[in-house]
Amino acid sequence: MPLFLKEKKSLIVLIALILFQLVLISLQAPLGQEQNYFGKAIFTIFSPIQHGTVSFVRNIGNLWRNYFYLHNVESHNQKLREEIFILQEENNLLQNALRRFKGEKEIQDNLQAIRENILVAQVIGLDASNYFKSLVIDKGSLDGLKKNMVVLDGKGHLVGRIIGPISLKEATVQLITDTESGISVFTEERVMGVLTGDARGRCSLKYIFATAIGISMGEEVVTSGLDGIFPSGIKVGKIISITESDPLFKGVKVQPHFDFRQLYQVAVVKIDSKDLF
Amino acid sequence: MRNFIEISVGIIAAFIFNVILSRLFFSLALPFNFLSLVVIYFAMARGEILGACLGTFCGLIHDTFPLGVFGLSGLSKTITGFLAGYISRKIDVNPPLRSFIFISILIFIELILWIFLYSFVLSERLNIGSGWIFFQPLSTAFLGVFLFRFLRKFKISKP
């Protein structure tokens, strides 16, 4: 090797690595959502380690809870029994209401389809650069997960949807608080808009004309089902502020219902939105 | 082979610590950059070429989970790794105070570079997590000084 190259070897290596990174970045920007094969490969290798670590930590926590906090178990069980009882009553009432419009067999088939297609998953990772963009769950393609499957919290509120990369036992969820997220929603007064995240834990309801009436503080926002991804009627959040700084559109802020700090478990709806009912 | 094992253990340990901290209290993961500590430690021990290569690898791992662009952290850690190896060959950064200042400056440079690249490429503001991220240079340097001294003493005491 020529002497000058030997001396500058480290600089050549640095420049080569920087160029490699720049090419990698330029191939993806401004998309940023679809990862390339290299990214998927790294995700497939490292997400099981994350999964294993979280399981280990959770098991340690469970050990503590099970063996050192036994006096809380019975009261916790009692609360859960009461909650199950209320949910069962609610379920019966709803089924009764549904019987006015559908036959018994059709209702049972629909409910069976829902039971078979709701998958409970644990949250095992968060987006290191922005916690309100995405998270990683411990279910993947082996569990039947695919892109655009809807993700809900424990109370049925919208959390987001499955996006790539999906490995065998892990998947990434795009949160509704991500700026790249866009959901077609209705308010209670049937005012339609598009909900996007502001990357700070809240959402903005866009394309509400300044002249629109029937939109007020505290109003519930639900999915419209018109985007073909999210089924209609899923609660998303509440309107917390309305401003009129723009001459064309109102500035509407929505507080999502799901509590990010309590998001340890989510439900993935495996069925397509148009197949639900 | 031994180098490879040491580096692999370091990377996996850093990854696991990051996961554990972010699960316990996610804002606590922001002030500590464990992967960068691995890069700086091995760059100081083995030189700037290994530092740059390790920075690339660790940065790509860091980029895996966010919904962002693959390569942002890679670029900033590559430069950090190179600088750590290069500067530590020119001046003695082993004394604790010098080591603390050295690591703080490196992590600060990496943070600034990463924030700049993030804002430039994605055209959006970074979530600063109530300001916890700005403690990263000092808290990571503080942790690094103790960790590096412990590891060096452990290596010396081994027969």
Domain boundaries of chain B, sorted by first residue: 2-13+31-157
pLDDT digits 0-9 by tens, A77-94: 878 887 887 787 777 777
A132 part of contact set with chain B, CB < 8 Å: yes
pLDDT of residue B31: 82
Q: In A, residues 34-73, which contact B (CB 8 Å cutoff)? A: 35-36, 38-39, 42-43, 46-47, 49-50, 53-54, 57
Q: In A, residues 197-216, which contact B (CB 8 Å cutoff)? A: 199-200
pLDDT of residue B159: 57
Which residues are paired to A265 by β-bridges? A122
Separation of alpha carbons B105 and B102, rounded Å = 5
B49 part of contact set with chain A, CB < 8 Å: yes
Question: Contact A53/B65, CB-based, under 8 Å?
Answer: no
Q: For residue A61, what is the nearest residue in chain B, using CA coordinates? A: B24
Residues of chain B with pLDDT under 50: none
pLDDT of residue A149: 92
Residue to mutate among B20, B65, B118, B125, with most A CBs inside 10 A, is: B65
Separation of alpha carbons A265 and A267, rounded Å = 7
- Taking the mean position of all CA atoms in its chain, how far away is CA A199? 13
B146 part of contact set with chain A, CB < 8 Å: no
Separation of alpha carbons B117 and A8, rounded Å = 27
Separation of alpha carbons A205 and A186, rounded Å = 10
pLDDT of residue A82: 76
Q: For A191-230, b where at least 16 C-beta lie within 10 A, e where not — what string?
A: bebbbbbbbeebbbbeebeeebeebeeebebbbbbeeebb
pTM of structure:
0.61
**Minimum distance, in Å, between the CA of residue B66 and any CA atom of chain A:** 4
In chain A, where the domains are located: 118-271
Query: Which residues make Cβ contacts (< 8 Å) with residue B17, sequence separation at least 6?
Result: B32, B34
In degrees and rounded to multiples of 5, residue A232 shows phi and psi of -75, 155
pLDDT of residue B118: 80
In degrees and rounded to multiples of 5, residue A146 shows phi and psi of -135, 170
Separation of alpha carbons B33 and B98, rounded Å = 19
CATH topology of domain A118-271: Thrombin, subunit H (2.40.10)
B15 part of contact set with chain A, CB < 8 Å: yes
A10 part of contact set with chain B, CB < 8 Å: yes
Residue to mutate among A64, A130, A260, with most B CBs inside 10 A, is: A130
Containing A44, the helix (H) or strand (E) segment is: helix A37-68
ipTM, interface predicted TM-score of the complex: 0.83
Q: For residue B49, what is the nearest residue in chain A, using CA coordinates? A: A10
**Which residue, among A157, A214, A212, A209, has the nearest Cα to A187 in the 3D structure?**
A214
Separation of alpha carbons B117 and A129, rounded Å = 12
Nearest to B71 among A24, A57, A178 (CB): A24
pLDDT of residue A276: 53
Residues of chain A with pLDDT under 50: 32, 277
